[in-house]
Amino acid sequence: MATNLSSDPMAELTGLGAGRARSVWSVTIQPMTLGRPLNKLLRSLHPDAYRRVEPKLSRTRVEARQILYQPNQHIHEVYFPESAVICLMTVMANGDTLETGTVGLEGASWISASIGAPSMPCETIVAVAGEALVLHIDDLDIEMRENEHFRDVLTRYSHALLIHSMRMTGCTGLHSLSQRCARWMLTTLDRVPGNEFAITHELLAMLIGASRPTVSIVIEDFHRKGILQSERGRIVIGNRDGLLSESCDCYQVIKDNYANVGLN
């Protein structure tokens, strides 16, 4: 059933779902008339470029811990988040994982699938449940060849995502767990409606490469400082400035990186 977005579509988004068991899920996709999308990458397209893409887009809801791509799996569709947050995870031989990039409403899940890289060596998992627009890889291929403005925007975004990933590598190796948690939360706040999001301490720990107890200690410290509240798998930020003071400079560097290509 077709759905039209209102003039204030963010207000219509439903609450974020709770985490579920980590597995590969199928998704239910509904064709729709999109109107003006929330996703900033699609929103930045010239009207003529977007009109070409719009009929090929569908909407789906993705859930926390849902695996969108397995390592080295052929990619069949690309996700353009609107309220969901997607993480690119490096998977080690012993099963340990570490986030190497995050995608929200500023971008897309894996656009390199259309330029000679039909799979990826990392796992892609949903960190925060929400809505996303989906484009089949065959349609992406066509638009990359025939839609010049679309290709230019996605190329600029691809470069920004690479810089993001490089910064994340440095952040993981050089900054404290407290700084990394604050950076992750701030970046997520920029990608979801309101001042809260659903995530468990366990999932956050997995994403940033830490143990659950140490992440819980950091969150409890933020709570004591009046920065946030955390209960039942949901984090509510009450003092964004306080959270910013706890973060490393990577948050602003990553934010500015996307702003420089018009996606923040």
Which three-class secondary structure string do you get for 149-163? HHHHHHHHHHHHHHH
3-state secondary structure of 57: strand
Please report the pLDDT score of residue 197 as a whole number: 96
pTM of the model: 0.83
Q: Are 213 and 129 part of one and the same domain?
A: no
Residue 1 lies in a domain: no
**In angstroms, rounded to a whole number, what is the distance separating the alpha carbons of residues 149 and 8?**
26
**Tens digit of pLDDT for each residue in 122-179?**
899 999 999 999 999 999 989 999 999 999 999 899 889 989 999 999 999 999 999 9
Q: Which range, of 95-109, 116-130, 142-156, 233-247, averages the lowest pLDDT?
A: 116-130
Does position 213 have pLDDT exceeding 90, yes or no?
Answer: yes
Query: Which pair of tokens denotes residue 187?
Result: 């970046």
Domain end residue (candidates: 114, 141, 171): 171
Please report the pLDDT score of residue 16 as a whole number: 34
Q: Are 163 and 193 part of one and the same domain?
A: no
Residue 158 lies in a domain: yes
**Domain total in the chain:** 2
Domain end residue (candidates: 154, 171, 188): 171
Residue 218 lies in a domain: yes
Angstrom CA distances, 158 to 101, 109, 112, 175, stand at 12, 10, 8, 25
Query: Which pair of tokens denotes residue 219?
Result: 């969150």
Please report the pLDDT score of residue 115 as a whole number: 57
Domain end residue (candidates: 171, 193, 221): 171
**In angstroms, rounded to a whole number, what is the distance separating the alpha carbons of residues 93 and 78?**
26
DSSP 8-class letter at 44:
T
Please report the pLDDT score of residue 12 as a whole number: 36
Please report the pLDDT score of residue 191 as a whole number: 93
Amino acid at 79: Y
What count of residues does the chain have? 264
**In angstroms, rounded to a whole number, what is the distance separating the alpha carbons of residues 239 and 27?**
36
Greatest C-alpha distance within the chain:
55
